[in-house]
């Protein structure tokens, strides 16, 4: 049987790379699903086409008109939801529920940004705050505005969310009026490719607004210019390379990084095992350890528990982890699929060996036999729980992210200062969560954790029914974090648009500025 080749959509046409290319696999069975190559594809003309064709066409539309196109894009995904979920299961190793998390997340984010567009209305520029009086006379003022950058938004995505990662970045950039060139992670790019085929067929966006580079990036990032934006999601070491590329260093292309994170869940001192909050905490930890086999940037990696409760938490979690059926997502009853690639499996196993130097293994399944998988096939890892001694330094637990179904219990003294000290050793995270009803504890810990995080989740039994948990990134809230997490920020409703726009202070007479803004589409 001839293997499908996945082409790139560059310069307004489908283009294939040279050579045999790389195989995209089903990570549960290792069956080859397609091949992809970006060798020989010319990135520079593709970027220029986006800048010169897509940029002006998008900037000619108002934010509301772009929002209408974002809405149509969301509707297109909704219409093809089942097919996209199927591809996510075969190429991503996702269970149906994991695949829905990605695809429905993409649809919900597109819908949310369509609403943001509708709310902002028929504007082309955004007025940022009130005019500031600059002298004695109210006539001389300064007014900040945001206007769309004239470059291309290059999006480099991680393997774990091929639909949501693509959509959440594209929705924001396109609404802001920037053309997008997206590069999915190669290993799981079947879904992003299909999504693009649908998008191109539907002709929703003006020519040059959306481009797709399949396969390796090559010199893509080196070619960026000063009006371009690079939004990257992936590992910290790749981010470090991208920060040093000439477009960023020499020409001032803007870069946003979403990288690693050692997210923590802290159980408060007031929580008893018979409470709703305790149950909520256990559910969130279990979901984060096993959903997408733990390959979620927001997944809980460190579990802080008051010393007196650590034995109970350990037993409860180990019990629930034992009940998780691991195997081929196609097989009835499977709750956790494989890791995405052989490399991820190696990285997870290496990472666990490192953590095991600082902690004790509490739950693992050596010799795991995944359900519905040919003998010896698939990139499976066992759900793994570790525990460190109270007061132990455990440096690897606070510095090494194992991107798989693993987490470590860290007993603490039950007081907010120690919880904050331990969590902040992670050196900057996307999200950490506090499970407590004790207002004094929650207040001290929240404000202590805030400088080290992009988001702090307050878990209590009172919101258990309605909350998606800390692992779900919501379009209205910022996603990103300081330090290790990349020091970036995405989403956050209207806030997200600012990355793709230039903030400019306009200084002059108030009546003139008012006229300029009116004529310019504020």
Which is closer to ligand NAP, CB of 195 or CB of 242? 242
Among 126, 259, 434, 513, binds ligand NAP (CB under 6 A): 259
The neighbour count for residue 134, using CB atoms within 10 Å, is: 14
The least distance separating ligand NAP from the CB of residue 473, rounded to whole angstroms, comes to 7
The least distance separating ligand NAP from the CB of residue 164, rounded to whole angstroms, comes to 9
Which is closer to ligand NAP, CB of 66 or CB of 155? 155
The least distance separating ligand NAP from the CB of residue 258, rounded to whole angstroms, comes to 3
| Whether 83 is catalytic | no
Which is closer to ligand NAP, CB of 260 or CB of 316? 260
Four-residue CA torsion sign, 43, 46, 50, 52: positive
Which residues, listed in sequence order, are joined to residue 420 by a DSSP beta bridge? none
Write the CB contacts of 168 (distance below 8 Å, at least 6 apart in sequence).
105, 106, 109, 473, 475, 479, 490, 491
Which is closer to ligand NAP, CB of 359 or CB of 488? 488
Which of the residues 22, 168, 229, 258 is marked catalytic? 258
The least distance separating ligand NAP from the CB of residue 272, rounded to whole angstroms, comes to 34
Determine whether 218 is exposed, middle or buried from the number of CB atoms within 10 Å of its CB (0-12, 13-18, 19+): middle
* Measured CA distances, 204 to 76, 196, 448 (Å): 10, 11, 46
Write the CB contacts of 512 (distance below 8 Å, at least 6 apart in sequence).
none
Residue count at the site for ligand NAP (CB under 6 A)?
26
109 lies in the binding site for ligand NAP (CB under 6 A): no
Which residues, numbered 221-240, are part of the site for ligand NAP (CB under 6 A)?
221, 233-235, 238
Q: Which residue is nearest to ligand NAP (CB)?
A: 234
Which is closer to ligand NAP, CB of 125 or CB of 339? 339
The least distance separating ligand NAP from the CB of residue 416, rounded to whole angstroms, comes to 26
What is the DSSP code (8-state) at residue 16? P
- Exposure string of 71-91, with b = 16+ CB inside 10 Å and e = fewer, is bbbbbbbbebbeebbebbbbb
Among 8, 95, 157, 291, binds ligand NAP (CB under 6 A): 157
Which of the residues 22, 168, 229, 297 is marked catalytic? 297
472 lies in the binding site for ligand NAP (CB under 6 A): no
Q: Say if residues 404 and 455 touch (Cβ distance below 8 Å).
A: no
What is the contact mask toward ligand NAP in residues 412 to 441, using x (rule: CB under 6 A)?
------------------x-----------
| Whether 297 is catalytic | yes
Determine whether 57 is exposed, middle or buried from the number of CB atoms within 10 Å of its CB (0-12, 13-18, 19+): middle
Among 166, 297, 326, 397, binds ligand NAP (CB under 6 A): 297
Residue 68 CA to residue 114 CA, distance in Å, equals 6
Residue 199 CA to residue 207 CA, distance in Å, equals 12
Q: Say if residues 214 and 193 touch (Cβ distance below 8 Å).
A: yes
Residue 254 CA to residue 228 CA, distance in Å, equals 6
Interface region with ligand NAP, contact rule CB under 6 A, candidates 5-13, 150-158, 366-374, 437-445: 150-158
217 lies in the binding site for ligand NAP (CB under 6 A): yes
Could you give the residue numbers annotated as active site? 258, 297
Using CB under 6 A as the criterion, which residues of the chain lie in contact with ligand NAP when the complex forms? Answer: 156-160, 183, 185-187, 216-217, 221, 233-235, 238, 241-242, 258-260, 297, 401, 403, 430, 485
């Amino acid at each position: 049987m001839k293997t499908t080749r996945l082409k790139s959509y560059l310069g307004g046409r489908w283009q294939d790379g040279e050579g045999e290319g790389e195989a995209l696999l089903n990570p549960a069975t290792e069956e080859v699903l397609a091949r992809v190559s970006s060798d020989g594809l010319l990135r520079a003309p593709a970027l220029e086409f986006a800048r010169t064709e897509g940029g002006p066409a998008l900037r000619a539309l108002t934010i509301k008109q772009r929002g209408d196109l974002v809405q149509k894009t969301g509707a297109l995904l909704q219409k093809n939801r089942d097919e996209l979920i199927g591809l996510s299961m075969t190429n991503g190793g996702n269970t149906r529920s994991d695949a829905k998390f990605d695809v429905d997340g993409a649809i919900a984010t597109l819908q949310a940004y369509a609403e943001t567009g509708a709310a902002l209305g028929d504007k082309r520029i955004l007025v940022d705050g009130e005019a500031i009086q600059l002298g004695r006379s109210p006539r001389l003022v300064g007014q900040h505005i945001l206007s769309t950058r004239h470059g291309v938004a290059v999006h480099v995505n991680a393997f774990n969310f091929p639909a949501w990662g693509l959509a959440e970045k594209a929705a924001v950039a396109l609404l802001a009026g920037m053309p997008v060139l997206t590069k999915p992670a190669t290993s799981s790019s079947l879904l992003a490719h299909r999504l693009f085929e649908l998008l191109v067929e539907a002709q929703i966006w003006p020519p040059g607004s959306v481009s797709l580079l399949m396969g390796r990036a090559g010199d893509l990032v080196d070619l960026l210019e000063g009006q371009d934006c690079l939004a990257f999601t992936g590992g910290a070491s790749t981010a470090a390379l991208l920060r040093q590329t000439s477009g960023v260093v020499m020409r001032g292309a803007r870069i946003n990084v979403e990288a690693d994170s050692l997210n923590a869940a802290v159980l408060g001192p007031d929580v008893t095992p018979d409470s709703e909050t305790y149950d909520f905490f256990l559910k969130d930890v279990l979901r984060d350890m096993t959903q997408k086999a733990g390959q979620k940037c927001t997944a809980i990696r460190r579990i802080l528990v008051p010393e007196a409760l650590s034995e109970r938490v350990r037993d409860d979690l180990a019990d629930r982890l034992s009940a998780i059926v691991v195997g081929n997502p196609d097989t009835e009853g499977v709750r956790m699929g494989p890791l995405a690639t052989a490399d991820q499996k190696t990285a997870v196993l290496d990472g666990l060996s490192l953590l095991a130097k600082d902690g004790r293994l509490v739950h693992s399944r050596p010799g795991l036999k995944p359900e519905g998988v040919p003998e010896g096939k698939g990139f499976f890892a066992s759900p793994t729980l570790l525990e460190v001694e109270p007061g132990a330094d455990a440096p690897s637990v606070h510095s090494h992210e194992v991107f798989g179904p693993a987490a470590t219990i860290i007993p603490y003294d039950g007081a907010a200062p120690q919880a904050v000290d331990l969590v902040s050793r992670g050196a900057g995270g996307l999200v950490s969560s506090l499970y407590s009803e004790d207002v004094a504890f929650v207040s001290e810990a929240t404000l202590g954790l805030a400088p080290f995080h992009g988001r702090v989740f307050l878990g209590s039994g009172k919101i258990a029914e309605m909350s998606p948990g800390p692992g779900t990134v919501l379009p209205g809230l910022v996603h990103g974090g300081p330090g290790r997490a990349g020091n970036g920020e995405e989403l956050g409703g209207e806030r997200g648009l600012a990355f793709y726009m230039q903030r400019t202070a306009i200084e002059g007479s108030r009546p003139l500025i008012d006229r300029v803004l009116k004529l310019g589409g504020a």
